[in-house]
């Protein structure tokens, strides 16, 4: 197995080039993914083990990335909790029955029932693992971000409902976060048992929180999850939009790496956090630049992180659906050729 990615997560990459993988590397910018999506809806791809395994491999038809990420979605919890999850073609995820009251929280299915509903994910891991020559990442959403979807019922620009609940009834909001954290811990333990080599936690919407709120509603639950996984000895990467702002707090979790949003100045981050793995952080829109400009921007990031034994090349957020395939190809070649 190509070990570059896991070596970087241990801070031990001795080769000149960093490992590279991309958030949303399996997605609509890939012709073979679009072909599968023409035949199956998104949730069927996520929830049919054979299909999820197949989609996980789609980017490897085009480029030799250094890690695979299991094809799935952080919102499967909404399906496991029977809240009517579906993905509308134009508007993204919809949760038909958002969580709205304290009694909604009390009536959620048991952990056992909810974990039973995501068993296809564990099966997909066992199917894809033997077909990979690189490490496999498992993942989950973090409690605050998942709570925001479960409450808003869709992607929201400001999380108004979520933040109103959080501030007006913090006790029941914490109760919801606890229940989500318990699900995430069970879900990740199942993924580890099925064979993933590393984990990434997505707390995408942390950027909406002020520092004290971040500590109370994001960091505390990330800490709970990290503590529960510690004995499994699997490296954990944490990602937020806002990781550039909350990098020092995230480092207290002692993650194997922090995935930096595109706002972070990487050399400054390295000075601030000499002991933590760093992943990121090319702005996904740079992949729309013409060849020479793209090469310059990738080169600039490679140059400032040159020789860093704990650096993983990635974007600051996921690959956008309209991204030209040739740009991703060029990026991977530039990183590997460094
Ligand atoms: O390749 C990979 O990165 C692995 C698979 C993966 C997906 N979603 C596939 C997906 C992962 C790790 C995610 C995480 C995820 N999902 C996050 C956290 C990361 C982030 O992007 O901030 C969030 C917030 C979601 C929720 C979600 N899923 C949204 C908001 C959307 C709609 C937006 C969009 O891009 O369409 C999805 C759908 C989704 N998840 C797609 C993919 C490939 C597109 C669905 C399609 O094929 O139509």
Cα radius of gyration (the chain): 19
Number of the ligand 1 atom closest to the C-alpha atom of 141: 18
Which run of H or E residues covers position 326?
helix 325-336
Measured CA to CA, the distance from residue 273 to residue 268 in angstroms comes to 9
Q: How far does residue 327's CA lie from ligand 1's centre (Å)?
A: 20
Q: What pTM does this model have? A: 0.97
**Shortest CA distance to 179 belongs to which of 111, 82, 119?**
111
Residue 91 has pLDDT above 90, yes or no: no
Tell me if residue 85 falls in helix, strand or coil.
Answer: strand
Beta bridge mates, 93: 87
Query: From atom 7 of ligand 1, which residue's Cα is the shortest distance away?
Result: 73
- The predicted-structure confidence for 31-83, as pLDDT tens digits, reads as follows 999 999 999 999 999 999 999 999 999 999 999 999 999 999 999 999 999 99
In 173-270, the DSSP E strands lie at 198-202, 236-239, 257-259
Number of the ligand 1 atom closest to the C-alpha atom of 28: 47
Q: 101: which 2 tokens?
A: 């009251």
71 CB near ligand 1 (under 6 Å): yes
Number of the ligand 1 atom closest to the C-alpha atom of 37: 47
Tell me the catalytic residues: 24, 28, 37, 73, 149
Measured CA to CA, the distance from residue 266 to residue 144 in angstroms comes to 26
Residue 2 has pLDDT above 80, yes or no: no
Q: How far does residue 168's CA lie from ligand 1's centre (Å)?
A: 30
User: Cβ distance 65 to 332 under 8 Å?
Assistant: yes
- The predicted-structure confidence for 199-237, as pLDDT tens digits, reads as follows 999 999 999 999 999 999 999 999 999 999 999 999 999
- In Å, what is the CA distance from 306 to each residue of 67, 273, 276? 20, 16, 16
The dihedrals phi and psi of 94, each to the nearest 5 degrees, come to: -130, 135
24 CB near ligand 1 (under 6 Å): yes
Beta bridge mates, 68: 136
Is the peptide bond prior to 281 cis by the omega test (within 30 degrees of 0)? Answer: yes
User: Cβ distance 324 to 287 under 8 Å?
Assistant: yes
- In Å, what is the CA distance from 89 to each residue of 42, 95, 198, 206, 320? 9, 14, 31, 26, 15
Q: How far does residue 301's CA lie from ligand 1's centre (Å)?
A: 25
Residues 6+ positions from 292 with CB-CB distance below 8 Å: none
- Taking residues 248-257, what's their average pLDDT? 98
Angle at 240 between CA 75 and CA 41, to 5 degrees: 25
- The predicted-structure confidence for 273-303, as pLDDT tens digits, reads as follows 999 999 999 999 999 999 999 999 999 999 9
242 CB near ligand 1 (under 6 Å): no
pLDDT of amino acid 89? 82
Tell me if residue 236 falls in helix, strand or coil.
Answer: strand
pLDDT of amino acid 66? 98
Q: Is the dihedral of CA 97, 98, 103, 109 positive or negative?
A: positive
**Shortest CA distance to 8 belongs to which of 253, 232, 280?**
280
Pocket test for ligand 1, best of 25, 34, 41, 74 (most atoms within 8 A of CB): 74
Measured CA to CA, the distance from residue 115 to residue 77 in angstroms comes to 9
- The predicted-structure confidence for 129-143, as pLDDT tens digits, reads as follows 999 999 999 999 999
Which run of H or E residues covers position 315?
strand 311-315
């Amino acid at each position: 197995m190509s070990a570059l990615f896991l070596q970087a997560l241990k801070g031990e990459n001795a080769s000149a080039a960093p490992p590279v993988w991309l958030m949303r590397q399996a997605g609509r910018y890939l012709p073979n993914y679009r072909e599968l999506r023409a035949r199956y809806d998104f949730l069927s791809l996520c929830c049919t083990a054979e299909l999820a395994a197949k989609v996980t491999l789609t980017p490897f038809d085009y480029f030799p990335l250094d890690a695979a990420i299991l094809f799935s979605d952080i919102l499967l919890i909404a399906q496991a909790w029977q809240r009517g999850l579906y993905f509308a073609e134009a508007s993204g995820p919809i949760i038909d029955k958002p969580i709205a009251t304290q009694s909604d929280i009390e009536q959620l299915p048991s952990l056992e029932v909810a974990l039973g509903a995501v068993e296809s994910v564990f099966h997909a891991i066992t199917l894809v693992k033997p077909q990979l020559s690189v490490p496999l990442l498992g993942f989950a959403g973090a409690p605050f971000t998942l709570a925001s979807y479960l409450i808003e019922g869709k992607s929201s620009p400001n999380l108004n409902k979520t933040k109103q609940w959080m501030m007006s009834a913090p006790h029941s909001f914490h109760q919801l976060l606890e229940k989500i954290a318990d699900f995430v811990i069970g879900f990740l333990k199942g993924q580890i048992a099925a064979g993933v080599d590393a984990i990434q936690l997505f707390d995408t919407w942390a950027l909406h929180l002020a520092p004290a709120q971040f500590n109370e509603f994001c960091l505390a639950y990330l800490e709970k999850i990290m503590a529960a996984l510690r004995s499994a000895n699997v490296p954990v990467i944490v990602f937020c939009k806002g990781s550039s702002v909350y990098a020092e707090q995230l480092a207290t979790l002692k993650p194997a790496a922090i995935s930096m949003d595109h706002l972070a100045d990487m050399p400054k981050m390295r000075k601030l956090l000499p002991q933590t793995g760093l992943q990121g952080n090319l702005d996904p829109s740079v992949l729309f630049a013409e060849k020479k400009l793209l090469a310059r921007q990738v080169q600039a990031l490679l140059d400032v992180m040159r020789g860093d034994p704990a650096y993983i090349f990635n974007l600051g957020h996921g690959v956008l659906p309209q991204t030209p395939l040739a740009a991703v190809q060029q990026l991977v070649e530039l990183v590997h050729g460094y």
